Structure formats: C-alpha cells, structure tokens
Structure 1
Amino acid sequence: MNRTIPEPDLDYLQRVLLEMLAIPSPTGFTDTIVRYVAERLDELGIPFELTRRGTLRATLKGQKNSPDRAVSAHLDTIGASVRAIKDNGRLILAPVGCWSSRFAEGSRVSLFTDNGVIRGSVLPLMASGHAFNTGVDELPISWDHIELRLDAYCATRADCDSLGVNIGDYVAFDPLPEFTESGHISARHLDDKAGVAALLAALKAIVDSGVQPLIDCHPLFTITEETGSGAAAALPWDVSEFVGIDIAPVAPGQYQS
C-alpha cells in the first residue's frame, strides 16, 4: 500500500525556529545549537555523527544505500567579535561573516566573556543628534565607526579587564522574532535557522509517515557557512544529488517563485 507523506507540522516548525533563534550561534560559537539539533534528531530517531569539522551528518535510511542524496542547512549566523578595547571602556568590533555595519547600528547584543554574559548596545561613534548635529549624517558607514557600549560600569580599559572582557570575545545580535497574523516571520538570523527549521520539519513528516526513502538521504547541518565553508567536506563520496537550503537576498533580478 502506498503511503503519502503528510504536510509538515507547522507548529513544530515554529517551535523549533523560535527555540533556535533564542540560541546565539555566530560562526565559531555554535556548540550549543549543534547540541540542540542533535537532540531533535535523537527525538526523531535519526542517527547522526559529528565530523572533524563540526558538521552534523545524519542518515535517513533508504531502500538502497547508494548512490545517496544529501540536504544541507547551516547553523551558524553572522555576528561580531571584540577587535580592540578603548581607553574609555568601549569596544571596537570586527564582523563575523560578511555583512555591513549599517545593519549592526542600534542593535542590542550579548557579549560572551570569561566571567559570563554582558548585555550592551552597538552604536555609531556619534550617537546623538543633539550633540553632533549634522555630523551624525556625515559619519561614514564602517565597522571602524561603530562601537559596543556595555550595560555595565565600564569607563576604562581596567574596568573591562575586571569584567573579564578580552579580545576575541564573541558578540551575538538579538534576533527580535515576530510572527504576524498574515503568516509572515520577521527576525534576524532566519539565515539560516529558518532553513534548519524547515529541514527538521520535513524530516519529522517523513519519520511520522513511516515511508522509507528510495535511497539513503543525509541531512547535513554545517557550522561555518557565514565564513565561506559549506557542506562539501561532509558529503559522503557517493552522493549523486544535493540540495542546499539557504536564504536568498532580495535584489533586482531575483524573484519569488
């Protein structure tokens, strides 16, 4: 008897998406979200392994084990790290991933230090129209012209030292998720946590249906896409079909299907 695969469980998709958005995971700071996805695979009864480069490589067994298919989504997001500590206790940032400081300005963030998490705001060097007038609009857009101001008493470099702040500490940007009545989802880091949630929901639908794929399929969850390394190193040698799930930018010449 032929069995059909049910529609994905959208409540499950929304739940795992919200839970993943709540987990900071800039490239290089992905251990927690890797464990989260591993737990979801365990719940679905899908075996997996962790590669030397940190990719989760799962196996959805098929009726034949070769050639294989693979589907990939990435767990890492853009973010920042501490590049320098100023004498006034403010922090200079370097981007993690390729993105403009234009989209970092005004963000609320979490700084991960040796002593714990410190909240803060990313602001332009001239953050007040009252103080700087038109100079605010003339300030160049670059990572050299923004800074992280911590929600802590931090007026000197020594204050930063006492808080456990170090060069290289990771900075995660708040996702600010919003699910509208029209069905739209707005959040930072939907790239690619929305793709991961969609892949997990599809896997759940297949498992719940009891349908066995014709050939083995390998769901891959990578951790360094934002810095230029994808799924190639984790692909089994006999994969003949591959689909990458990711978020496409909206730009001229790119249209929705």
Structure 2
Amino acid sequence: MAYVEEVLIHLLRTPSPTGRTDEVVQYIGELLMDLGMELTVTRRGLLNATLPGRRTRPDRAIAVHADTIGCMVTRLKDNGRLEVTPLGTHSARFAEGAHVTIFTDDDVTHTGTVLPLKSSGHQYGDEVDTQGVGWPLVEVRVDQPVCDAQGLAAIGLQVGDFVALDANPMLTPAGYVKSRHLDDKAGIAAALGAFKALIDAKVTPLVSAHLLVTIAEEVGHGATHGL
C-alpha cells in the first residue's frame, strides 16, 4: 500500500488536463520500465505495458486514463481575468473556488482561482445565489497585478493556454485520500500496485496481461484503438 499511496500522491500533484499529459505519461512510463514491463506507445499516445503470461491468447487488459478534466483559455478579458471553456464534461459549479495552474506556451506557469462573475456578497447581495450556473458565468482571476487584457498578454497568457484544476491532495487521519482527479489517477495507482505485486511475487499469469494508459478519455477517446 505504501507504493500505491506514493504513486497516487505523485500522480495527483502532476497536472494533466486533457491535451497536456506529457509529464504524467513520462512518469507512468518510468514506473512501468522500473517494473521491467514491456512497453509500447501508439501513435495516439496510449501506453501499452505487457506482463507476459503462460499463454498469449486470449489476453486481458486493464484500461485506465491519465488525463483529467480541466479548462482552456478562450478570451483575455478587459477586466484582467480569463474566460475559459471546460476540457471534458464537468459543471462550472464544481470548478467555482478551485485553485488553478495556467500553462503558457513558453512553459511559464501562473496560478489563479476560478470565481463566479458575482462573487462578492458585499457588492452583489443576494445575486451571488441567483446568478445561475455555467461556464459563461465564471472567470479565472490570475495571481498577478493585472487589470486588463493587455496586462494578461504582457505576462505571456493567450487564448488556447491550458488551465489545470489543482488537485490539492491530502491524507486524512482515517486513511482516506481527499483530492480532485482521483478519476482516474486512483485507478492508475491501484493498477500499478497490482502489477507490481504480481511481479514482486514472481507470479506468471495464465494469460498475458496489459495495462493500457490513455490520455484523452475525458473528451471521449478511450482505449479501443490500443486493443
């Protein structure tokens, strides 16, 4: 379990919104090679790791995905904030209040917070509860002293930048892991732990077993092309 916990926390602390998964895939690939598993990568970026069995057919596969929900910048707003659209299907209500990391093309990162357009009860009163829910009704406040679109552009932000919702993982005294993006990083950690247990025990499965790690599940592209 210590291995699974260590891997899970590392995965959760590695941002990987759909479309920006290179870093997390590199980490998973290194873990698979450390286990001595045969590893291939498809042209669409799917990792296929194999634990040979006593028979090669029929073989079995466990499919997991390394990408998470996230956002992308769609507009630099005149008030110095960012308009975003979701990557994957998730409610803006789930994102409100989230801390985020914004990635620029030159690998500079900025932090920020997803806020409703009307977030101050002192200013808007009851409208903070009646304004509705939806991505047009939230914006990202960047942790920089900017107040207009020109200021955002000056620090390297532009339309198309990826925005990761920070996972903020924590272990509770009762042993639970609280975090965003347990879908599907908990699945990856559990699968790696299972394969490691078989390898450490020198167990050869009856049929070959594959671990398929996909990178675009949140937008509907799973493991079928890797089977």
Name the residue aligned to 1:110.
101
Match of 2:213 in 1: 221
| Unmatched runs of 5 consecutive residues or more in structure 1 | 1-9, 236-257
Q: Shift of the alpha carbon at 1:23?
A: 0.4
Residue identity in the other structure for 1:24 = P
Report how many residues are paired. Answer: 226
Match of 1:158 in 2: 150
1:100-145 CA distances to partner (integer Å, 9 max, x unpaired)? 0001111111000134000111100011000110111111100000
The answer for unaligned runs of 5 or more in structure 2 is none
State the partner residue of 1:170. 162
Determine the C-alpha separation between the residues in 2 that align with 1:57 and 1:154. 44
Between 97-106 and 150-159, the greater mean CA deviation after superposition: 150-159
Q: TM-score when scaled to structure 1?
A: 0.86
The letter of the residue matching 1:122 is V
Measured in 2, the distance between the counterparts of 1:181 and 1:210 equals: 34
Map of 1:129 onto structure 2: 121
Alpha-carbon RMSD:
0.8
Q: Distance in 2 between matches of 1:123 and 1:139?
A: 12
| Residue 56 (structure 1) aligned with residue 47 (structure 2) | yes
- 8 Å contact kept, 2:13–2:169: no
Moved over 6 A (4+): none
For residue 84 of structure 1, report the CA deviation from its aligned partner. Answer: 1.0
Question: How many angstroms does 1:183 deviate by?
Answer: 2.2
Q: Does residue 1:146 correspond to 2:132, yes or no?
A: no
Aligned residue number for residue 16 of structure 2? 25
Distance in 2, matches of 1:121 and 1:148, equals: 5
What amino acid is aligned across from residue 229 of structure 1 in structure 2?
H
1:101 aligns with 2:73: no
Q: Which SS does the other structure have where 1:59 is aligned?
A: strand
Deviations 1:162-208 (A, max 9, x none): 11111110001111212122222211000000000000000100000
Work out which of the residue numbers 79, 82, 86 in structure 2 matches 1:91: 82
Partner of 2:30: 39
The TM-score normalised by the length of structure 2 is: 0.98
CA drift at 1:74: 0.6
State, as a whole percentage, how many aligned pairs show the same letter: 46
